[in-house]
């Protein structure tokens, strides 16, 4: 993808599931990809294991040129909460993908101030550093979640404000474009329900379900990365890109993984801050949301940034995981398409172990 050619790309929270797949996809562009990828995160152990995972693969695998890894990837210890750390990391960067987040719903409910510092304060630090020091950053992408739409939990609330922080940053910005992406559950990413179900099934059960009615949007890590790349390529300042993806009932996911094993399923009740159905575009946002191929683009409401488009269909209702839910057989087929059946050995980034 030529838009990354010879660019310096910083991925905050780069050792997470999304950051690892972003790194793999960017490295696969070599020699026509980024000049450098900076993995910016606060966990030195995760950085060490990520570095070692690449160094131990001396041959080219999955289109990644491992021999150039040290030259192309820089690991930088730092925290988006720390303004000085952010300023140092942004020097010389062309594209920022902000994937750093506190995203576990129950954790954010019990430690809301921590979620505020990372999810909101981190975004504010990025914006402030770029504007205060006039860093020539071309694009900043804020990675958000369906929980930011009509939020009822702390994680969603802080992510909703993060979206607004980045949207507002476009006002008065002459050289940096601030955009966002918003999507639902990533299949088999760290902390998602599929690794939990795998562990419960391997242990003989029971499999725990919060409620029989619960639905979630589902997409692969690669589709999440595709959404980010498409937004970088197409989004106008302040727009949020949303992928058009299927949704499924959580009980159907569990039963597809259990198959015919003698595993019990128990209902535990909704956890603090959970919704039965998630929403990617609300009714209130639909009037300024446009169809763009496999995506929806939510335009900013601020009049200084809003640009009406003619000849493109707007969304006429909210986009909920409770609408157009996959059937149980369709859910099973989707999981098998992504090799997520219990018979496959997975790591906790949703990738097959070799």
DSSP 74-139: EEEE--TT-HHHHHHHHTT-SEEEE------HHHHHH-HHHHIIIIIHHHHHHHHHHHHHT----E
List the domain range (segments joined by +) for residue 205.
2-337
User: Could you tell me how far CA 290 lies from the centroid of its own chain?
Assistant: 21
243: its two tokens: 């992928």
On the question of a cis peptide bond just before residue 11, with omega within 30 degrees of 0, the verdict is: no
Q: Is residue 350 part of a domain?
A: no
260: its two tokens: 């015919």
A 10 A CB-CB count for 252 gives: 21
pLDDT (tens digit, 0 to 9) for every residue of the chain, 354 residues total?
578 999 999 999 999 989 999 999 999 998 889 999 999 999 999 999 998 887 776 444 444 444 566 789 999 999 999 999 999 999 999 999 999 999 988 899 999 999 999 999 999 999 999 999 999 999 999 999 999 999 999 999 999 999 999 999 999 898 999 999 999 888 867 667 888 898 999 999 899 999 999 999 999 999 999 999 999 999 999 999 999 999 999 999 999 999 989 999 999 998 877 889 999 999 999 999 999 999 999 999 999 998 877 777 788 899 999 998 999 999 999 888 876 655 554 444 444 333
Q: Is residue 156 part of a domain?
A: yes
Q: What is the C-alpha to C-alpha distance for residues 231 and 144, in angstroms, rounded to an integer? A: 13
Residues with catalytic roles: 147
Q: 31: number of CA atoms within 13 Å, CB side?
A: 2
Q: Is residue 343 part of a domain?
A: no
CATH number at residue 210: 3.40.50.720
The total number of structural domains in the chain stands at 1
Q: What is the C-alpha to C-alpha distance for residues 227 and 238, in angstroms, rounded to an integer? A: 15
A 10 A CB-CB count for 354 gives: 8
Q: Is residue 132 part of a domain?
A: yes
Q: Is residue 24 part of a domain?
A: yes
Q: Tell me whether strands 177-183 and 240-243 are parallel, antiparallel or unpaired.
A: parallel
Q: What is the C-alpha to C-alpha distance for residues 128 and 84, in angstroms, rounded to an integer? A: 11
Q: Is residue 346 part of a domain?
A: no
Q: Is residue 352 part of a domain?
A: no
Residues in a beta bridge with 292: 295
Residues in a beta bridge with 140: 96, 178
Q: Is residue 16 part of a domain?
A: yes
Q: CA 30, 145, 266 angle in degrees (round to 5)?
A: 115
The order of strands in the sheet holding 289-292 is: 73-77, 36-41, 8-12, 95-98, 139-145, 177-183, 240-243, 295-298, 289-292
For the chain, helix, strand, coil in percent to 5 are 40, 20, 40
pLDDT of residue 270: 85
């Amino acid at each position: 993808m030529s838009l990354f050619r010879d660019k310096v790309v910083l991925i905050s929270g780069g050792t997470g599931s999304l950051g690892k797949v972003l790194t793999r996809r960017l490295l696969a562009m070599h020699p026509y990809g980024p000049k450098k990828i900076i993995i910016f995160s606060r966990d030195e152990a995760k950085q060490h294991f990520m570095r070692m995972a690449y160094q131990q693969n001396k041959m080219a695998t999955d289109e990644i040129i491992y021999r150039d890894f040290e030259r192309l990837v820089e690991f930088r210890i730092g925290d988006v909460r720390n303004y000085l750390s952010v300023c140092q990391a942004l020097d010389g960067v062309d594209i920022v993908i902000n994937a750093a987040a506190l995203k576990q719903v129950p954790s954010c409910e019990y430690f809301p101030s921590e979620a505020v510092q990372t999810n909101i304060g981190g975004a504010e630090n990025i914006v402030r550093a770029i504007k205060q020091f006039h860093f020539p950053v071309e694009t900043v992408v804020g990675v958000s979640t369906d929980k930011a739409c009509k939020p009822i939990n702390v994680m969603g609330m802080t992510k909703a404000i993060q979206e607004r922080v980045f949207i507002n940053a476009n006002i008065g910005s002459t050289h940096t474009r601030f955009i966002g992406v918003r999507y639902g559950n990533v299949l088999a990413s760290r902390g998602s329900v599929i690794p939990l179900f795998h562990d419960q099934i391997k242990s003989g059960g029971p499999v725990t379900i919060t409620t029989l009615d619960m639905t979630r949007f589902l997409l692969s890590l690669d589709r999440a990365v595709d959404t980010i790349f498409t937004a970088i390529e197409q989004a106008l300042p302040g727009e949020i890109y949303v992928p058009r993806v299927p949704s499924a009932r959580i009980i159907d996911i569990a039963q597809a993984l259990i198959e015919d094993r003698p595993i019990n399923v128990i209902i535990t009740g909704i956890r603090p801050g959970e919704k039965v159905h998630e929403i990617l575009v609300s009714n209130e946002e639909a009037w300024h949301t446009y169809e763009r191929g496999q995506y929806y683009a939510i335009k900013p409401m601020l009049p200084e940034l809003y640009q009406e488009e003619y000849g493109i269909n707007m969304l006429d209702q909210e986009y909920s995981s409770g609408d157009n839910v996959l059937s149980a057989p369709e859910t099973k087929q989707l999981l098998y398409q992504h090799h997520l059946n219990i018979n496959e050995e997975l790591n906790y980034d949703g990738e097959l172990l070799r």
